[in-house]
Chains A and B, each alone.
Chain A
């Protein structure tokens, strides 16, 4: 399969070019088919590559050309496919294909249909580059490229200025992280003399644990990850990113792009394992983000906002997993999350589609009967994310919590409490949307309908995956073999060696931990049921007062406002000060002062001066010509 790898990213790129150029001339259906089929073709090749790697156990390296080189700094355009990237390829192209298919139905009435598919294809291209790159700069192309597509797609309906603002915010916040990434790359080149993964990790593996260079590099890389994967403090762009069409939220802001940070750290696992300080920072930031975002999700009323904060929170779990050393567990959660979160977003999209673009759950209710497929699939997704066995989320989340327990009981306790929040806000969302009486307008009620097959088929496929996806990582205590762990073992081999043997938790303790987290999830479920189904509670209107904590949560703890006050406004003030005072009055004032000074001193000589610059220049030209002529007469 080696010689077809280049096709994997190139097919979606071709889709971008075809759909981009033909966005106004090609028929909609053709655009949708081209966009989807090309991603499907990439998926099929990815399957071939996956099985080759599974069978041989060898990673594939291919170098195409020198992107650029200066002196010793060489940046080849080269791909690396190993176990880690092979799975990412499957997620990106597989889930990507389903979401393309879904978009044919979802975006059908949009005038920007062609543009939408072009952007979506472009996104897949960049995302594939991100995971295929065999050095940090090719990864960085994908890294920034997906940021661009995110910008374009969040601002897809840019006629709405606040959507355009959301797009800009996402790009800028990502750029803050990217600066960290870039400086890390400089350091990597400085200390390792190369930016190729193979060279860097080979050399890093021989270094001492806790080496300050490694700590610095990994911290900076993590700064990059906080931007792309929406962690504290750079997480506020992701909820705003919900301004984009819902398939975008599913693909970019749930299943793939936002997991890039986790992928990058898992990819660089050798360096991170040797930097325990960084690992602690990652675990703490991840856990804090998971809890903080879950707290906000508890009171949100916009269905997509609930899912957005849920995504931030789940990403936090993944970072917790990385931080406590279970690269496999974190990556396992990337995989299962891709299934159930894509499913939930697409389900939400189906609801929004049926509700004539209504997103406020206070105006929904009782949709179960009208949207049966959407309901059942979303129920499955909700169970999966809540961590109730045997659905996918249970296994991956439990693996992370198990490792967290090993590191610190505090981590574990906070993690479990957050899991309870998760179960609560997810079932809250489900009950508010699908149970009780319909609370929308008559018009909306009249239009309620189940979505077309192009939309429900992806829901069903993802629902199945959310149900069975966890079985690739069943731990031994439950009689499984954790196939995923064995498959990924070569990628994390060095790190495993460094840490020594892994997972000391006894099987007894392991089952107890599982029982606790399941119990907690179920209790939260029941609590939500009692509140929103039995007692028929509906979140209050914005005009009414809320209790203090609920109010803080509903207003997202005013983080945006705090950033605005601490960063944006001071920068704005500095900007105006620099312009009006320093530049115009200060520096330019001095320059003009020189001018005036010379005018005064020359006043005495003014009889010789006409004050006409044109005249001076004329004299200068005469002078130059005279010199030229003089020169030529001498030659002649």
Chain B
């Protein structure tokens, strides 16, 4: 069994779902998403947590141009495959109380996007990676543009052009590496061995960095994000924030740093500093946001800044922290956007000033919201803590002072998250919020699953860390060996 089933099952599912008439589409989509999750779990059960790549598929595609359909799963990919396949069914479930026009098309796009993202997370050929990258972007463009809020067109176009521009730089980078590769293929291992001078690597670094920094987003490439997250339909926001931004993070780990190690070395400090600026900057902006969804959007920039800082610190703690935090951030941010979806669907507003006192009338909802909030502020024994601790430790290994600034996140995060919780849930009810009804059915199911994950992954995170540790360690060692080689050559 190879990884291709994981990539093509959602494609087939998307095609089938596209033809399903309105009411049943969500059920069909859910069925396939769960089936995909089952496949991923099956892979997990067969997975050996060493540094090797498993379930590999290599099929010639356009061999003349060095393009192969090469994909596989190592520990790093495994975590992201789990993230994707776990969140997609949850996200589909969150839409159960929505009525979408052309529901078949809507769910088909979600499934197609899943296929694109899984391609990105497993591709071992530069061309395939790029195809997956764009294949994930197109569906989300249509999801936002067709099912989004009032300003969707203007904002979605900006989002699309911005991220697309970034990926074009990446394409140039990939082609450049291809031309310099020893056997003229797009195979990742071949690209890793491309003969590129330190100076040229500096350019390659920027070509990839722009694409990934925009995707995550890293300060100052983030301005598309709050608008897009706010305007997109909530399932789209969840796909973007829960999974898609991890394409950027993953890209840095697998494609940016190993492909341009010497370029990375030149720009490492800048990358870490930009990431850390993003943490503090976005957190400060989140302080005074009036719209709940927008507040969560800025909080996400802040959290992703820490993930990026951990990776750019390039040590075992930092990258492992990033791995587990990608999973945790995905779970928590989907929870938070769902919370705001529930509020805005019931009350038709997300303005914090119009809310208050919901905890009293909807205690179950309040409990779930609180647990997710605590996960987001990284309370120990919640999932957020492990990631944040390791990430900060990783940055600390890189530089004590930068880590101290990054550490402000634990204070600022508490400020804006508790403010949001207070404004929405505490205080007295008003004529609007007094009518708020507590969560039911699928809402309860989704929030229940998320809360369980928040706690279980916080109490016992070791199995997840174990999945990726060997692969991460191997990758870091490989790259560090190149640093050493370069240093030795320099001396000669």
Binding site for B on A (CB under 8 A): 65-71, 73, 137, 140-141, 144-145, 148, 151, 155, 158-161, 164-165, 168, 171-172, 175-176, 178-179, 182-183, 186-187, 189-190, 571-572, 574-576, 578-579, 582-583, 587-588, 591-592, 595, 613-614, 617, 620-621, 624, 627, 630-632, 634-635
Total B residues in contact with A, Cβ cutoff 8 Å:
70
Can you name the residue of chain A whose Cβ is closest to the Cβ of B64?
A: A634
Q: Pick the contact of B317 from A71, A161, A168 — CB < 8 Å? A: A71
Chain B stretch 387-401: residues in CB contact (< 8 A) with chain A: 389-390, 392-393, 396-397, 400
Interchain CB contact under 8 A, A144 and B316: no
Is there an interface contact between A574 and B67, defined as CB atoms closer than 8 Å?
no
- Identify whether the interface residues of A are mostly helix, strand, loop, or mixed: helix
In whole angstroms, what is the CA distance A592 to B159 when docked? 11
Q: Give the 6 A-B residue pairs with the shortest CB-CB distance, closest first.
A: A158-B426, A588-B223, A164-B426, A141-B380, A161-B427, A631-B61
B182 at the interface (CB under 8 A from A): no
Query: For residue A178, which residues in chain B have a CB less than 8 angstroms away from its CB?
Result: 410
Residues from chain A with a CB closer than 8 A to the CB of B397 are: 190
| B interface residue numbers (CB < 8 A to A) | 59-64, 67, 131, 134-135, 138, 141-142, 145, 157-158, 160-162, 220, 222-224, 281, 284-285, 287-289, 316-317, 320-321, 356-357, 359-360, 374, 379-381, 386, 389-390, 392-393, 396-397, 400, 403-404, 407-408, 410-411, 414-415, 418-419, 422, 425-428, 460-462, 465, 469, 473
Q: Are B422 and A168 in touch, CB under 8 angstroms?
A: yes
Q: Say what secondary structure dominates the interface of chain B.
A: helix
Closest to B59 in A: A635
Q: Do residues A587 and B220 form an inter-chain contact, with CB atoms below 8 A?
A: yes
CB pair A635 B61 closer than 8 Å: yes
- The reply to whether B428 and A69 form a contact with Cβ atoms under 8 Å apart is no
Interchain CB contact (< 8 A) of B407 among A159, A160, A183, A578: A183
How many residue pairs link A and B with beta carbons under 8 A? The number is 159
CA–CA, A571 to B63, complex, Å? 58
A227 to chain B, nearest CB (A): 10
Q: Taking A69-B465, A613-B157 as contacts, is the C-beta distance between A576 and B403 under 8 angstroms?
A: no
- Nearest Cβ on chain A to B216's Cβ, whole angstroms: 15
Q: With the chains together, A137 CA to B134 CA distance in Å?
A: 43
Determine whether the beta carbon of B426 is less than 8 Å from that of A159.
yes
Whether A158 contacts B380 by the Cβ 8 Å rule is: no
Contact A634:B287 (CB < 8 A) given known A69-B462, A161-B426, A179-B407: no
For B160, the chain A residues whose CB sits under 8 A away are 613, 617
Q: Which residues of B contact A578 (CB under 8 A)?
A: 281, 284-285
Residue pair B223, A583 in contact (C-beta under 8 Å): yes
Complex CA distance for A360 and B384, rounded to whole angstroms: 42
CB A604 to nearest CB in B, in angstroms, measures 19
- Residues A164 and B427 in contact in the complex (CB < 8 Å), given A71-B317, A631-B62: yes
Contacts of B396 in A (CB 8 A): 183, 186, 190
Q: How far is the CB of B476 from chain A (nearest CB, A)?
A: 10
Name the contact of A630 in the complex, choosing from B62, B408, B410, B419 (C-beta under 8 A).
B62
Structural contact, A583 and B285, CB atoms closer than 8 A: yes
- Tell me the complex Cα distance, A627–B356, Å: 54
CA distance A65 to B460 in the complex (A): 9
Most chain B CB inside 10 Å of its own CB: which residue of A71, A578, A579, A588: A579
A576 touches B288 (CB 8 A): yes
A441 vs chain B, min Cβ distance (A)? 26
Are the C-beta atoms of A572 and B407 separated by less than 8 Å?
A: no
Q: Is the CB of B360 within 8 A of A179?
A: no
Give A423 Cβ to nearest chain B Cβ, in Å: 38
When distances are taken between beta carbons in the complex, the residues of chain B under 8 Å from A582 are 281
- Known contacts: A70-B390, A179-B408, A620-B134. The answer to whether A579 contacts B161 by CB under 8 A is no
| Contact B141 A172, beta carbon cutoff 8 Å | no
Closest to B224 in A: A591
Q: Which B-chain residue is minimally distant from A220 (CB atoms)?
A: B404
Extra contacts, 11 of them, besides A67-B461, A183-B403 (Cβ < 8 A), are A67-B462, A73-B390, A158-B426, A161-B426, A172-B415, A175-B411, A176-B411, A187-B400, A595-B158, A631-B62, A631-B67
Chain A residue at minimal CB-CB distance from B407: A179
Determine the chain B residues whose CB is within 8 A of the CB of A164 once the complex forms. Answer: 422, 426-427
Complex-state Cα separation, A541 to B359, whole angstroms:
37
Distance of A260 from chain B, by nearest CB (Å): 14
Contact B284–A574 (Cβ < 8 Å): yes
Nearest-CB residue, chain B, relative to A182 = B407
Closest to B425 in A: A158
In the assembly, what is the distance between CA of A328 and CA of B301, in Å?
Answer: 48
How far does the alpha carbon of A179 sit from the alpha carbon of B280 in the complex, in Å?
14
User: Cβ of A70: which chain B residues have Cβ within 8 Å of it?
Assistant: 316-317, 320-321, 390, 465, 469
A621–B137 Cα gap in the complex (Å)? Answer: 11
Knowing A179-B411, A613-B157, the reply to whether A624 touches B287 (Cβ < 8 A) is: no
In whole Å, how far is A75's beta carbon from the nearest beta carbon of chain B?
A: 9
B380, B427, B460: the one contacting A144 at CB < 8 Å is B380
Q: How far is the CB of A70 from chain B (nearest CB, A)?
A: 5
Q: Let me know if B316 and A71 touch, CB within 8 A.
A: yes
User: Which residues from chain A contact B419 at a C-beta distance below 8 Å?
Assistant: 168
Chain A residues lying within 8 Å of B425, measured Cβ to Cβ, are 158
B288:A579 contact, CB within 8 angstroms: yes
- Least CB distance from A527 to B in Å reads 43
- In the complex the two chains form, what is the Cα distance from A591 to B161 in whole Å? 11
* Among candidates A65, A189, A591, residue contacting B393 with C-beta atoms closer than 8 Å: A189
Q: Are A68 and B158 in contact (CB under 8 A)?
A: no
Provide a sorted-by-A list of 24 A–B residue pairs whose CB atoms are within 8 angstroms.
A67-B461, A68-B461, A71-B317, A71-B469, A73-B317, A73-B393, A141-B380, A148-B374, A158-B422, A159-B357, A160-B427, A161-B356, A164-B422, A172-B411, A182-B392, A183-B396, A183-B404, A571-B284, A572-B287, A575-B285, A578-B285, A583-B223, A587-B222, A617-B138
A240 to chain B, nearest CB (A): 14
A190-B315 Cα distance, complex, nearest whole Å? 14
Give which listed residue, B60, B134, B162, B285, contacts A591 with CB less than 8 A: B162
Knowing A145-B381, A179-B407, A182-B392, the reply to whether A159 touches B59 (Cβ < 8 A) is no
A631 proximity list for chain B (CB < 8 A): 61-62, 67
Bound together, the chains give a CA A141 to CA B400 distance in angstroms of 23
Residues in B neighbouring A172, C-beta threshold 8 A? 411, 414-415, 418
Which of B63, B357, B386, B414 contacts A175 (CB under 8 A)?
A: B414
Instruction: Write out the residue numbers on chain B whose beta carbons fall within 8 Å of the beta carbon of A165.
Output: 422
A215 CB to closest chain B CB (Å) equals 15
Q: Is the CB of A68 within 8 A of B462?
A: yes
CB-based nearest B residue for A70? B320
Tell me whether A617 and B141 are in contact in the complex, defined as CB-CB below 8 angstroms, given that A161-B426, A179-B410, A186-B403 are known contacts: yes
Residues of B contacting A151 in the complex (Cβ-Cβ under 8 angstroms)? 418
Contacts of A187 in B (CB 8 A): 400
Nearest CB to that of A73 among chain B residues?
A: B317
Least CB distance, B286 to chain A, in whole angstroms: 8
Cβ of A161: which chain B residues have Cβ within 8 Å of it?
Answer: 356, 422, 426-428
Question: Which of B63, B135, B284 has a CB less than 8 Å from the CB of A624?
Answer: B135
Q: Is B393 a contact partner of A186 (Cβ separation < 8 A)?
A: yes
B367 to chain A, nearest CB (A): 9
Nearest chain A CB to B139 CB, angstrom units: 10
